[in-house]
Amino acid sequence: MDRRTFLTQLGVAGLLPFLPVSKAAAAPAATGTRPLGLNLAGLSYWASERPFSNLAYGASRWRVQVKGAPFTWDAELPPMTVKRYPKVIPANAVLESFLVWNRREHLPDELFVLYDGKGKLEYLGGARLEARRPGIDRVRNIHNEAAFTAQLVATDENDPLRDLRVQEGEGKPASTFRDVFLDRLTGMTALRFMDWMNTNKSKQRDWRERPMRGVFGHVDELGVPVEDMVELCNLQQARPWFNMPHLADDGYIRGFAELVRDKLDPNLSVYVEYSNELWNSMFPQAAYAAEQGLKLGLSPHAYEAQLRFYARRTTQILSIWEDVFGAARDRVIGVYAAHSANEWTSTTILSFEGVKDHADVLAIAPYFGAGLGAPERVREVGAWSLDTLFDALTQEVAGENKRLIHAQAGIARQFGVELVAYEGGQHLAGFGGAEEDERLTALFIAANRDPRMGVLYAAHLENWWNAGGGVYALFSSMSEPSKWGSWGLLEYEGGSHVKWEAARSFLR
């Protein structure tokens, strides 16, 4: 699916007078004149990136499996603890979870499953029990294509098995995060947590609904607790980039801001963005914005009402953050995001009521190659050689993509804000049915692995910074390619990649 569908050019809105230099522009970048940020890939049991010392951080939720019955996720769960551990085991059944799916990961042959409380686990799929003592199981990592699966076959209702974690050693880890993950982030100016926060499908409204540390199987539904994101940024001395849920009420926003104020290193600034791509009508949060904008009478035109509601709610959210930070409000970097290929979205958002008092950055996603995955071009592009594909990409990077970057930089200058990239890189992915074409998918995956892709990334980033662009948050850290796209700068741990090496050349 194309996550960044090009929209019809809607018109041109008026511009505000030149504003003072933004806080983001005035703040020194950690990596000098070439500031790179990174979007961290979403967490799940099947993800190829393992940031946490607890390898089961992204474990699936528990499911009841009746002995001898077909596999299901739908059986009713027994009574659970607050942190989602079963208090009892249903008759003739087990509780089961996929802890890790370790297809190509460079994890040790021997792993340790630790837990508190009283109970018993059995293992299947990608794991085999080798030794057991109270609270710790030594398990063989089989390195096959099956998920490392745990079955809870016994627990004590008064002292249930809980705090389940999978580690590379049996002692307490030195850090919440694995060293190999931290090393990869060295030099990044900012870390955007859009996928860690499950922004695009968030249903969170109330601060009490936020993800909490120690809750089992919560990441796929709720995302990562803010405490863990702040801890990571403190360790790396990188600015956090948070995406506030589109349904979150003011109490949620205030609670989030207060926690960040109290926990984040006072030397770090923080990017604050309202949800993700509310200009992009394929997302549910964009439909919500259009509905609210029309209801409030912000425009008789649905798309303009959508953008104006986004601008208004962003301003409200930033006002709360600035109030919470008080005398340190300059640490709050106000993000207003727009469609990189539609300059009207930028001017419409930045010229709306109250925006000039809170806007620090205009954020866009200057991807290249998106149009090549369109369904009407499947037969043409699918028959191309890699040489032909790279000729087209090179022309785009040097031509229309560069022009759009300069146009958006000009808008940012006129409004007195800094231009930043909330996402960006190549966008070779079929959509609208084109993702089912195997030739197209194979071509796009091969192109992402070709050394010429690294050259294109370097040229694209140079175009960005030469136009006056600020932090560029690449999309994204690590994931394996598929028909849905080759988004990862790296595909799996222990490997290398031309896109990652291009990024590293700027970090060095």
Which residue, 136, 167, 198, sits at the end of a domain?
167
pLDDT band of residue 104 (cuts 50, 70, 90) is: low
Q: In what order do the strands lie in the sheet with 119-125?
A: 63-66, 93-101, 147-155, 119-125
Both 120 and 149 in one domain: the answer is yes
Instruction: Say if residue 163 is in the same domain as residue 182.
Output: no
How many residues are recorded in the chain?
Answer: 508
> Over 70: is that where the pLDDT of 278 sits?
yes
Residue for token pair 């294509």: 145
201 in the same domain as 73:
no
Residue range 127-153: average pLDDT?
94
Residue 420 within a domain? yes
Confidence of residue 62 (pLDDT cuts 50, 70, 90): very high
* In a shared domain, residues 126 and 255: no
Residue 133: φ, ψ to 5°: -145, 165
Same domain, 109 and 198: no
**54, part of any domain:** no
The pLDDT value given to residue 107 = 84
Tell me: do 441 and 496 sit in the same domain: yes
Span 282-302, average pLDDT: 97
Same domain, 273 and 126: no
Q: What is the pLDDT of residues 26-53, one digit of tens each?
A: 333 333 468 999 999 999 999 999 999 9
Residue 244, CA distances (Å) to 58, 107, 109, 282 in order: 21, 34, 40, 18
**Rounded Cα distance, 448 and 323, in Å:** 44
Burial per residue of 85-95, b for 16 or more beta-carbon CB atoms within 10 angstroms, e otherwise: bbeebeeebbb
* H helix intervals, 296-437: 302-325, 343-350, 378-382, 386-398, 400-415
Only one residue has tokens 């600035």, namely: 322
Is residue 233, in this structure, part of any structural domain at all?
A: yes
pLDDT value at position 102? 67
Give the SS3 label for residue 472. strand
Residue 446: closest CA among 476, 492, 491, 394: 491
Residues 228, 160 share a domain: no
Mean pLDDT for the chain? Answer: 92
Number of domains in the chain: 2
- For the ranges 85-89, 219-223, 275-279, 347-351, which has the lowest average pLDDT? 219-223
Pick from 167, 188, 206: which residue ends a domain?
Answer: 167
Please tell me the predicted confidence (pLDDT) of residue 25.
44
pLDDT tens-digit map of 314-364: 999 999 999 999 999 999 999 999 999 999 999 999 999 999 999 999 999
Let me know if residue 7 belongs to a domain.
no
pLDDT at 22: 44
- Kindly state the percentage of the chain with pLDDT values over 90: 88
Q: How confident is the model at residue 495 (pLDDT cuts 50, 70, 90)?
A: confident
Tell me, yes or no, whether 240 and 155 share the same domain: no
Residues 296 and 441 in one domain: yes
Domain, as residue range, for 225: 23-44+178-507
Domain boundary pick from 110, 145, 167: 167
